[in-house]
Chain A
Amino acid sequence: MDKQTGFMKALKCRECGREYPLAATHVCEFDFGPLEVAYDYDRIKASMTRSAIQSRSKNMWRYRELLPVAGEPTVGCEVGFTPLIKADRLAKRLGIRELWIKNDAVNYPTLSFKDRVVSVALSRAKELGFTTVACASTGNLANSVAANAASAGLKAYVFIPSDLELGKVLNSLVYGANVVGIKGHYDEVNRLCAEIAGKYNWAFVNVNMRPYYAEGSKSMGFEIIEQLGWKIPQHTIVPMASGSLLTKIHKSYQEMTKLGLVSDAEYSVHGAQPAGCSPISVAQKAGLDFFKPVKPNTIAKSLAIGTPADGFYALKVMKETGGAADDVTDDEIRDGIKLLAECEGIFTETAGGVTVGVAKKLIASGKIPANDSAVLCITGNGLKTLDALVGHVGHTREIRPSLREFEALIEAETKSPTAA
């Protein structure tokens, strides 16, 4: 393995194919197309076998040949390998033969899939000599950058919309990160960060480090394949903000097929958005290959990106794999959160409610056939978005510490069960 580049060959423009050195840079100088890591798949094939993977520790780095760091990872070494749960009770409720939950609500250390991308971005940032890291975030990414930077001894600046859920704000501050709240929505935070990144020599995980960062999402797809017994699921339903995760899940299935780690199979990747921010799903439903930016207004703040940078590629993946997209209202999002909690004992954040709600719609409409098997990507934890549920999940009934009062309460409920 080359010390400077590992299994990577270059950064390559997705639009025109021009190649760039493996530095902290993310757009093609010629057409602004996004840069992507190109790998030496021949060398990877020689090194990455099922038995080699299975002999390694149970974390995302068991697929390290396909993750863009030159040497061994130094940040987030224990991230990933979250549970894949067979969700029989939810399957029954949604009317599908077989359903699985990939549960990144319990990803380590900050309870969202963002730990995957951050561990790659910060490991690579250290290789490139950076001492300060930063991000533009809708919350989960900020938490993950703050936590992983703290454990790696890096200085962190995180930029978030100032109206984020309190849980997500405190979850960044506690690690000692510099948290800057921007009076605007995420797209405005993003725009400002692009300008800041041009001025300060920091590793912005989702700006100049984005080619490395985005690759971390593939580990979720690698794990799904391995945990299903080396099989690609017929259907995968993925929440879309920028659309990046959906494209990387697809890429992970393609790479494992290309390397012969899984047999070639037909599969569909479907996308889920909140109705209050649905530029990609609206375009997909209209059969377009481009989207119109929107101004977000949704309780699913982690998906509130009105100008999704990978929207174009997400549409392409859905088209190529026969996938569909849909969107759900705030009430349907809350119902989705409750349904997953009540059926499977998994508490997800609003983005997870979007995924469950859209899965329900796609199964009901037959776009996902009832006799098939599907995986839901649950990307974040419900404890971070408690605000969205206040007043929507019933209330506690208070009594004094008296057996008589408890018996009276039970008796009242037995008489009119709906009162509970």
Chain B
Amino acid sequence: MPVNVRIPTPLRKLTNEQELVQIEAKTISEVITELQGRFPGIQERLVDEKGEVRRFVNVYVNEEDIRFLQNQATTLKDGDEISIIPAIAGG
């Protein structure tokens, strides 16, 4: 089940500057495992020692924050777009 993952600027050094990566995954957990397989080192950037998505990392599936879905257990379907974005502020 291929999904598209948008890689944010701070992580592109790990993906050879690739901005969009297509991978096979059924859940967000699998996305992270698959990314780690292809780009070693990326996992520890995204999740902490306990396996939780880091405090300052936001993950979206088709523009919806996974914290409004089922977090890492959120299931994916063909062609879903996943964005990984650092938390930022404004007002």
Contact = CB atoms under 8 A, between A and B. Distances in A.
Interface string B75-86: 000000001011
A206 B85 contact: no
Contacts, number: 100
Nearest to A14: B56
Contacts of B67: 292-293
Given A32-B54, A293-B68, A307 B87 contact: yes
Interface stretch (A22-30, A123-131, A337-345): A22-30
B90 A186 contact: yes
B57 interface: yes
B90 A136 contact: yes
Nearest to B87: A309
A119 interface: no
A190 B88 contact: yes
A242 B89 CA distance: 6
Contacts of A193: 88, 90
B89 A31 contact: no
Interface of A: 15, 26-34, 114, 135-138, 140-141, 186-191, 193-195, 197-198, 206-207, 210, 214, 241-244, 290, 292-293, 295, 302-303, 305, 307-310, 312
Given A29-B10, A32-B10, A210 B89 contact: yes
B55 A312 contact: yes
B15 to A, nearest CB: 13
B91 A141 contact: yes
Contacts of B86: 26-27, 32, 194
Chain B interface size, as a band, is 20 to 34
Given A241-B90, A293-B67, A309-B89, 15 more contacts: A29-B10, A34-B56, A194-B86, A195-B8, A206-B90, A206-B91, A210-B88, A242-B89, A244-B91, A292-B67, A302-B91, A303-B91, A309-B87, A310-B89, A312-B55
A180 B68 CA distance: 26
Contacts of A194: 8, 85-86, 88
Contacts of B65: 187, 293, 307
A33 B45 CA distance: 10
Nearest to A27: B86
B3 to A, nearest CB: 17
Contact of A305 (B11, B13, B55, B90): B90
Given A29-B10, A30-B45, A32-B45, A191 B58 contact: yes
Most interface-central of A136, A191, A290 (chain B CB within 10 A): A191
B48 to A, nearest CB: 8
